[in-house]
């Protein structure tokens, strides 16, 4: 029986990758967790075995589903202490090769969806901060927010937008006890590329051989768990050395990247095509 005095946390996108690792990490640390994904069966198979976890099928890119999700948390627990904005999609390719509906879908989830879940959760988070002394928003961003590098230009733009939202929100809520964090991972071993290109694995077996290269999602989950206990709002690169990616924003480096990358678009396009074929084929 879950302890009703423990924190209630909402984690979006909990059926795979970083979200699944985060749900498991937070549940093991004693939180009560509500999580969602579009594929409710995969979600239940991923984390439905945990007694402190509630799963619900919901699409964060859909306004009615977002409202239903936050209402479901309040109906079940009567409180909400933190939100982990994890659900996100990527797409590897040049802007000129990207279908318009894919652009709209990536923005609708990574940016509009994340902002709107936060907006709907905010009255409950402010109440938690008032009544129990703290509440948290953790945005799962990316180092791509700092390095606007093809073939991830549109994805990078959504993550830079998310980081901008976090900075603004901090200035609205810090004095009222809500901490707002970003966790910015480098490459993580997940289903991200396959899912973003319309080939979401149906199971872990199906995902085998189709995971992107990178660090284990559990490392990102640990960083998310640590921010939820941090004394103040944090921006955390995972691994820590990946914070050096911000050097790309220094003007001479920025100009060099413009000059070099825009001359190598053929190679960028071929590398992205190969990576996508390996994960979706
Ligand atoms: N993998 C990386 O290298 C990397 C690096 C930096 C940042 N990130 C960020 O980390 C976050 C998690 O990515 P991941 O790599 O763990 O991806 P993943 O393995 O593809 O997992 C994504 C999770 O989000 C869910 N999801 C996708 N679209 C959704 C929607 N519209 N509504 C609700 N749930 C949705 C998926 O389930 P359903 O498909 O069933 O909905 C799945 O549970 C994303 O924000 C991503 O941008 C990833």
Q: Taking Cα atoms as reference points, which of 138, 112, 113 lies closest to residue 125? A: 138
The CA-CA-CA angle for residues 228, 240, 139, to 5°, reads 40
Ligand 1 atom with minimal separation from the 143 CA = 6
Q: Above 80 in pLDDT, residue 83?
A: yes
Q: What are residue 33's DSSP bridge partners?
A: 9, 53
Model pLDDT, residue 94: 97
Q: What proportion of the chain, given as a percentage, has pLDDT over 70? A: 99
Taking CA atoms, 254 is separated from 32, 148, 161, 162, 245, in Å, by: 43, 9, 18, 21, 11
Q: Above 70 in pLDDT, residue 1?
A: no
Span from the CA of 138 to the centroid of ligand 1 (angstroms): 14
Model pLDDT, residue 5: 80
Q: What is the pLDDT of residues 99-153, one digit of tens each?
A: 999 999 999 999 999 999 999 999 999 999 999 999 999 999 999 999 989 999 9
Model pLDDT, residue 4: 75
Span from the CA of 14 to the centroid of ligand 1 (angstroms): 8
Model pLDDT, residue 186: 97
Residues carrying an active site annotation: 155
Q: Taking Cα atoms as reference points, which of 41, 133, 31 lies closest to residue 83? A: 31
Task: Give dist(CA 51, CA 24) in Å, integer.
Answer: 11
Sequence-separated (6 or more) residues with CB below 8 Å from residue 133: 177
Total-model pTM: 0.98
Coil, helix or strand for 247? Answer: helix
Span from the CA of 222 to the centroid of ligand 1 (angstroms): 17
Q: Above 90 in pLDDT, residue 90?
A: yes
- Going from the N-terminus, what domains does the chain have, and what CATH number goes with each? 8-280 (3.40.50.720)
Q: What proportion of the chain, given as a percentage, has pLDDT over 90? A: 96
Q: What is the mean pLDDT of residues 157-173?
A: 98
Which residues have C-beta atoms less than 6 Å from ligand 1? 12-19, 36-39, 42, 59-61, 86-90, 109, 140, 142, 185, 187-188, 190-192, 195, 200, 212, 214, 217
Q: What is the pLDDT of residues 39-50, one digit of tens each?
A: 999 999 999 999
Q: What is the pLDDT of residues 177-230, one digit of tens each?
A: 999 999 999 999 999 999 999 999 999 999 999 999 999 999 999 999 999 999
Model pLDDT, residue 235: 98
Taking CA atoms, 65 is separated from 26, 82, 83, in Å, by: 23, 19, 16
């Amino acid at each position: 029986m879950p302890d009703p005095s423990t924190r209630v946390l909402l984690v979006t996108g909990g059926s795979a990758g970083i979200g699944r690792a985060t749900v498991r990490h937070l549940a093991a640390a004693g939180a009560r967790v509500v999580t969602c994904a579009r594929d409710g069966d995969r979600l239940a198979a991923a984390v439905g075995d945990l007694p402190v976890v509630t799963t619900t099928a919901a699409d964060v890119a859909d306004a009615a589903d977002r409202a239903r999700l936050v209402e479901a948390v309040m109906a079940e627990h009567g409180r909400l202490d933190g939100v982990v904005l994890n659900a996100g999609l990527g797409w590897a390719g040049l802007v000129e090769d990207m279908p318009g509906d894919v652009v709209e879908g990536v923005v609708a989830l990574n940016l509009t969806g994340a902002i709107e879940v936060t907006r709907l959760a905010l009255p409950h988070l402010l109440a938690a901060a008032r009544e129990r002394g703290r509440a948290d928003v953790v945005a799962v961003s990316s180092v791509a927010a700092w390095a606007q590098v093809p073939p991830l230009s549109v994805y990078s733009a959504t993550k830079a937008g998310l980081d901008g939202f976090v900075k603004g929100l901090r200035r609205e809520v810090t004095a009222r006890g809500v901490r707002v964090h970003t966790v910015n991972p480098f490459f993580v071993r997940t289903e991200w590329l396959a899912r973003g290109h319309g080939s979401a694995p149906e199971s872990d077996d199906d995902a085998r051989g189709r995971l992107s290269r990178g660090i284990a999602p559990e490392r990102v989950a640990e960083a998310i768990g640590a921010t939820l206990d941090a004394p103040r709002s944090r921006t955390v690169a995972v691994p820590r050395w990946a914070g050096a990616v911000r050097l790309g924003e220094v003007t001479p480096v920025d100009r060099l990247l413009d000059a070099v990358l825009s001359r190598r678009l053929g190679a960028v396009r071929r590398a992205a095509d190969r990576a996508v074929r390996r994960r979706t084929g």
